[in-house]
Structure 1
Amino acid sequence: MPLRPSSLATFKRPLYLWNLMIRDSTNNGFFTETLKIYTSMAHSGVHGNTFTYPLLLKACANLNSISLGTMLHGHVLKLGFQGDIFVQTALVDMYSKCALVACARNVFDEMPQRSIVSWNAMISAYSRGSSMNQALSLLKEMWVLRYEPSSSTFVSILSGFSKNLNSFNSLCQGMSMHCCLIKLGLLYSEVSLANSLMSMYVQFSKMGEANKFFDSMDEKSTISWTIIMGGYVKVGRAVEAFSLFNQMQKQSIDIDFVVFLNIIFGCIQVGELFLASSVHSLVLKCGCSEEDSIENLLITMYAKCGNLTSARMIFDLIVDKNILSWTSMIAGYAHSGNPEKALDLFRRLVRTDIRPNGATLATVLSACADLGSLSIGQEIEEYIFLNGLELDQQVQTSLIHMYSKCGSIKKAREVFEKMTGKDLAVWTSMINSYAIHGMGKEAISLFRKMTIAEQIVPDAVVYTSILLACSHSGLVEDGLKYFKSMQKEFGIAPTVEHYTCLVDLLGRVGQLDLALDIIQGMPLEAQAQSWAPFLSACRIHGNVELGELAAVKLLELSPGKSANYVLMANLYTSLGKWKEAQRMRKLIDGKGLVKESGWSQVEINGRFHMFAAGNQSRVQLDNIYKTLEDLNFTLQEGS
């Protein structure tokens, strides 16, 4: 921003007074004001000294203003301060924070003398840019020249390793830094350093190492507790995070809104309403409820716990709603099986002055997909183009998903083929579209193109889609091959979804014995999800013996699930064993279970009509049955 001299320029002040004003302004975080004071000072004919320029360069670094920073560099050269160690170090730091690492290195190389702070500034520049080889090379050079690294040196390096999460080498190098800290006796010298080391382990999801280190810390700050709690939430172990939170309360440690963010994320994972309500009460008690991020997460938390009424109440109480508030509530409806309400809220949003972003539109498209409404989906696509969001990859990925779920694989493919710079999520969405349409060969062909031609590394999610494609198309050999390759070639451990797809694949083609062997070799968690598709396969292929085995296992694992009794009843019915089928259905009533009615939905002229099994209440029922009879008669005549 252009800086105008203030009225300060009309008074002739000595340099030390200007420096005091610059120091106070910078230390209080008024960085723009700092630069205005300097402009006034220059207009009054007073030149800065070696005390002035480090403060000014700090202001430029915090404002990320490279234009003003280079201007000050020119002033430094003109006034002959290029040999001053404090000014030069401030220049290195300024260029580093403005992401001009090469310029920072040029200044560093030209320094006639350096301090430990100078070395740290340059190492921090490389670490901030994730150039860890250069950072480590500089660390070695510093050591050779007998500059002993400080805790600040290692804080920068450890934070750099934490950014390279896809590199196993980064973790090894980070662990070697841990050894260096032990050797130098710096491990517990400062809480900030201990936190950085623990944070590195957390970022790599090494919670065992992080927790050992946390337990060994004599001095812990609120940040220490926040890091370890956030780590447990990150790896899906919310119970441990709640335990730590209880310890914090018992030890009367200050709890800030970041702690509550982690705890609310934990509640979202667990999905227990009583726990969520308790956390909400604490948030209100501590006065953190009006933080924007907290309010939006509370909406998501209640929606995940199935309490949309409370979620909507929080949403309605927010006076200054932003796009995150709207998106959180729309997502709450969309992900809780209420796509109509999600779309209604979106229509309210577009009538306000707040503009939807990519995340909002992706959520709305997901609601259209769940509703199966191609017409509304096309309206949303028109809105996307009118508002210039058609290049957003999250939106495009959701468009592919929406069109495929609404039955238009052709439109999904058109969106996919028009896209440039496709990421893994885009490829996965298209592969999954082929999978749910039973186009297994097309899915496999696209997967090969992604991994071989585009050299994109697959993840667990895209392998689920490939196995689903093989299952729906009966491609047994391909399914078995990909199930093995994901482990052997990419080190992806099979999840419940992978096991379930594999069992479904083998069951569909009648290889029940092989499917049974695979189920019995699975972890218990995966077994619980795999017996149901196995029982369905037993019904299709008329294998009562294995079906009864599957039913026993299912009823042991989920005795309160009526669908399991229905599956077994259907198996008996398919084989004409009416008494056994009746016995299963009586068990549903005897245990007080409720069987959900099957239902379907059609869209006609923008209106949705739902039909539930056994429902005789529709006015047009006679006409519907008459039309079905006519269609049946026509089909019989044609055959």
Structure 2
Amino acid sequence: MEEAWVSLLSKCSSLKPTKQIHAQICKTGLHTDPLVFGKLLLHCAITISDALHYALRLFHHFPNPDTFMHNTLIRSLSLSQTPLSSLHPFIQLRRQPTLSPDSFTFAFALKAVANSRHLRPGIQLHSQAFRHGFDAHIFVGTTLISMYAECGDSGSARRVFDEMSEPNVVTWNAVLTAAFRCGDVEGAQDVFGCMPVRNLTSWNGMLAGYAKAGELGLARRVFYEMPLRDEVSWSTMIVGELLREEIRTNEVSLTGVLSACAQAGAFEFGKILHGFVEKAGFLYVGSVNNALIDTYSKCGNVAMARLVFQNMPVARSIVSWTSIIAGLAMHGCGEEAIQLFHEMEESGVRPDGITFISLLYACSHSGLVEEGCGLFSKMKNLYGIEPAIEHYGCMVDLYGRAARLQKAYEFICEMPVSPNAIIWRTLLGACSIHGNIEMAELVKARLAEMDPDNSGDHVLLSNVYAVAGKWKDVSSIRRTMTEHSMKKTPGWSMIEIDKVIYGFVAGEKPNEVTEEAHEKLREIMLRLRTEAGYAPQLRSVLHDIEEEEKEDSVSKHSEKLAAAFGIAKLPKGRILRIVKNLRVCGDCHTVMKLISKVYQVEIIVRDRSRFHSFKDGFCSCRDYW
């Protein structure tokens, strides 16, 4: 009978039907039952709105309210317009010889003090909590920290935290928020740096704290470093950039937020901002159009970037032309980039050095060696632009990707300026791609003179040896790296799903997201084997281990996990957009092509240097990357 009345109460969404249920409860004589009455009181005090007055009447007419009923009233009053009034039922509870306050009593009462921002009653409650042995309770201790922070006493908040023996991540987040609340930005940084475990709330706390403190540069850095982003993260950045107090939305703040979207590959949020730009009338600002072109390009939708460029309602500047050329370059559309360059020349816009960097980059990633050489000469001879180190780097990359390694080496030796480490490293990367051991050793010797402790150079040479099966040389390099405490940059990938950015790192500790990704990936790999004849490219695993171990290792690369998670979560027909911090390996490239064919899904991967668009079993790079 009691359960039936409780079930009926849960279906009441307003006071009127609740009163009717109450009347029926009274007729059955269950109004004196502590369980039924407690649920009725909770429903009126917390669940439905504008019924607190009725809850107070109920409470005062019940003969012997227990601790739960007192807590219900304390909780409800703490959320009211007069939060300190919750201390009255707290005092009543303390006066009852047969009742004792529990952890919820103190947590709700402390919340009331925090909402009223009156420190003195908070100190008194702290003393009472200490007396009853609840000061070290994780729930009460965390609420004490928040109370002191709301009352502006950061010192007491920190002391409570320091006295807690085993603070959890919620407690760490509370003391982090407390530091920001009291204006102690450096203190918040120290807390964040010491946190043993960080969750999304921790990162969002840092993001919001920096934004509210006006430290937008630090906020952007945290935003870029976040392993996972949700709508709170994005809205915090948007509010921080666009709606700061006393600063109107302008083209500078808009381009800043669009840049954040571009770096994260957050296509959906980029579209939202595009809509805001149109409604707010910012399409007539050239810099905002340029930022939109850059955002769509870096989010993997060069078609939208073209549309923005073509429909610009204002004159196209050199930045506009260069932005779209750079976007086409990233997507391997070399011929189109060159065609657009000729249109720019015909329109009377004079190219600059940055334009030619984008053009040479486009030629490099499309295998247009002769065209690239012609543009390099045109830059010098027709436009009188003296090549910078970046232009020379593009030329080395142009020759290197085309397997013309000797020509690249000769080009470096003939440069009128001294080649830096980046130039030599570009050639070493080409040697790694094409497996040229002799040239790699020669280039690595040059790099050892300039930047001996760079872990990436050691890894590239190790890769060349590994592909050739020279495991003793691999071991020697790895041993040197260990002795000098050099660590290989871990590979990570991100994918945006419903405006949330999910991150994956190869070999990371399992969690709910990664376990789901691994489970889906196992299903995908089995299907690729049976339906598409997939066989792992074990040369992608550069360790002297057994074939079975290699196969297991190569199957867990971060971009595969991101793709698997995307297939598990996104509805059929949606494009998978993945951002990868390193170059996509050969096996992952093959897997993406097969997934696109077997699962009939388009996958766009942005790796360290370019985009790969996988569709119907083919890649836009035409296997030239």
Of structures 1 and 2, the one with the larger relative CO (CA 8 A, separation 6+) is: 2
- Compute the TM-score of the two structures, normalised by the length of structure 1: 0.47
Please identify which structure carries the higher helix content. Answer: 1
Relative to the length of structure 2, the TM-score reads 0.48
